[in-house]
Chains A and B, each alone.
Chain A
């Protein structure tokens, strides 16, 4: 199974939640995973109900069987200063560079440098080994930028490698690109069973494939339960209103006559939505990738809910490679 798992998805599909659940799911049986975020949103901290994450790997959760989940919020500026310190021993000079706007230039304006720093830090964690020569993390899971930007974000190393033709940034970019395009990496996309996210997922997969980046699984998030056979519900409800009213009354509902119409209307809406979901499932099936489904967590996602989602992912064998 890929050691570097990148989780992207359209905005609002819950990719942070899926990345966190995946980090938990892969951390079972004594394994250790690192969950990284790169967009400075502190989404992981909010999800796990912890304080804002510093630029430092720290344990954020434990998984069944003694597994551990670490988390890191990668900050491009800090990553660059570390990098300068590591290679050039630039202590206070780093601050002078910052004052001049050079750091700002490198991390926010210079094309792709920011992205190389972010992916570079994640790849470093993927490759890092302890003194016994074992990998420090069994898996690194990245809560990545959304689908619309993911290919550019990951492929930017190519861009930088082309632009900065020599030097450490060039070498760094080349090294990162080798990891990203290898079977060690899987890029997953999170979607909902709605038309726009599914379309964006299909487009995103095509772009990733064109850039020769390894596509992993599709995660269908926030799947709502099917409470009844909806077709039966819809067709049957139309002609049986009077009976429904009587049955409601017998079930202890007062004033049932006035409730029948809105209840049947809600059922019709539900049936319509289920029909649309079925269409979107068919589109997803046509993508030919492993798919995992995660249920809607009605009361919001907290740590307990994350564990439930992780259990669900393990059951479905999530995280397997698709294209790779």
Chain B
């Protein structure tokens, strides 16, 4: 697909709006978001361990395969995003990901905060000054990643990528901060420090001394400088002062770029996705984030709810399943005591089964075992795609499990699943009650981890389909 047709497709979406049939009320239309040519930045945020990185990668793959030229910026120190995209190691430069279908492109990179900081210094200071800064011990510690540097550099890198204008869409994964909110707070904090009053005082207390009312500051300053000197050691303070002096000409730049990136995040071309799992802590963090984004005028596109469970057998409740499993346990005990006494006379037979014309075998462990290997003709009505012949050997190998034990096990597993489903619904409902305005897409849980592009595609499909209403009876 050429860039032109991609534009046309997206324009259609934009004109028509989201397809009302495709997305339920309150649902997040992931594809409309990814196709919208006006959206240039998608930021995935949320607390740790909720699948932010995987979500960002899956969105990247999907957007690229829908024809966009995408770069995914990840900040996670674990190299798992790289692995799932078939790149051994990501670094500070966008690398093209192979195996993307269609005319779109996917690039991926991982933030190297020290590298980014170094490059920023090198780009904005002359060679001699840059060298002095890069060799300063205080700078070296600061750039190696203490409070806020990672978040600040993520913003810096985002600003750089956006300024290059080489990509239709930048998808950003946010740092695994102690709180999801650090992503918004830390850059300002570092920016205001680098550009702030305090550091200027540290550097040259005499400069501010001339103004009226600054006498207090001077008193405070000399005391503070003395205290900090005592506390941290004179060398440390001198390192900071040298650093500040060398950075002096760059401060304005740091501050204005941080401000510019901040404004970029508020602009209509940006969409925030809050990522969570249907667990109390994660959704509480998500709620904080939703409120915070609103307070900062940041455009929220919706909530991605990862690892959601559901069941196709949801009409059978947990209680019903457990009762049925207990009936089978009882039957086995009765059976062992009284031989062939089954449950058949106690429970009304299911018409669906009796209609098939088979008679019920006596309820005993031996019975289940002996009738195990069935001929295909016997189960044409209940099955569509099973392959009994392949299973015969396996069944012969398992002579310890009776059909009652097996069925009771299935029922208990189902009960457990239904309890999880109910709990998740409850947690999700609490979030929805607080923030009914937030569109949600639910991504159903995969049994295993994602290792490759196909895994990311599967997640992408779920991200796009996840706005369907939850199965009835699941709540």
Contacts and interface: CB of A to CB of B under 8 A. Distances in A.
Nearest to A10: B49
A242 B320 CA distance: 20
A145 to B, nearest CB: 7
Contact of B236 (A93, A167, A236, A255): A167
Contact of A203 (B78, B388, B405): B78
B201 interface: yes
A236 B394 contact: yes
Interface stretch (B96-104, B157-165, B261-269, B339-347): B339-347
B331 A250 contact: yes
Contacts of A43: 281
A252 interface: yes
Interface string B234-262: 11100110000000000000000000000
Contact of A258 (B352, B358, B410): B352
Contacts of A199: 78, 80
Interface string B139-169: 0011011111000000000000000000000
A105 B232 contact: no
Contact of A12 (B48, B145, B190, B325): B48
Contacts of B419: 298
Interface string A183-213: 0000000000011110110010000000000
Nearest to B407: A247
A200 to B, nearest CB: 6
B5 interface: no
Interface residues of A, number: 100
B412 interface: yes
Given A41-B179, A239-B374, A300-B280, A165 B78 contact: no
A225 B415 CA distance: 13
A101 interface: yes
Mostly helix, strand, loop or mixed at chain A's interface? helix
A251 interface: yes
Most buried by A among B142, B313, B394: B313
B232 A169 contact: yes
A169 B233 contact: yes
A247 B403 contact: yes
B93 interface: no
A255 B350 contact: yes
A247 B423 CA distance: 29
A164 B235 contact: yes
B56 interface: no
Contact of A247 (B282, B323, B404): B404
Nearest to B387: A238
A261 interface: yes
A39 to B, nearest CB: 4
Contacts of A233: 401, 406, 409-410
B349 interface: yes
Contacts of B148: 108-109
Contacts of B179: 39-41
A96 B220 contact: yes
Interface string B408-419: 111111101101
Contacts of A149: 176
A250 B343 contact: yes
A13 B315 CA distance: 32
A299 B279 CA distance: 11
Given A10-B48, A250-B331, 12 more contacts: A100-B224, A101-B192, A101-B197, A200-B78, A229-B401, A236-B401, A238-B388, A246-B358, A251-B325, A256-B353, A266-B414, A267-B413
Interface of B: 47-50, 76-78, 80, 137-138, 141-142, 144-148, 176, 178-179, 189-190, 192-193, 196-199, 201, 217, 220-221, 223-224, 227-236, 239-240, 277, 280-282, 311-313, 315-316, 320-321, 323-325, 327-328, 331, 342-344, 347, 349-350, 352-353, 358, 360-361, 363, 368, 371-374, 378-379, 381-384, 386-388, 390-392, 394-395, 397-398, 400-401, 403-414, 416-417, 419-420, 423, 447-449
Interface of A: 10-13, 39-41, 43, 46, 84, 88, 90, 93, 96-97, 99-102, 104-106, 108-114, 145-146, 148-149, 152, 156, 159, 162-170, 194-197, 199-200, 203, 224-225, 227-229, 232-233, 235-267, 269-270, 272-273, 276, 298-300
16 contacts: A10-B49, A12-B48, A40-B178, A93-B220, A110-B240, A114-B147, A145-B178, A235-B391, A235-B394, A235-B395, A238-B388, A241-B379, A246-B361, A252-B347, A266-B413, A266-B417
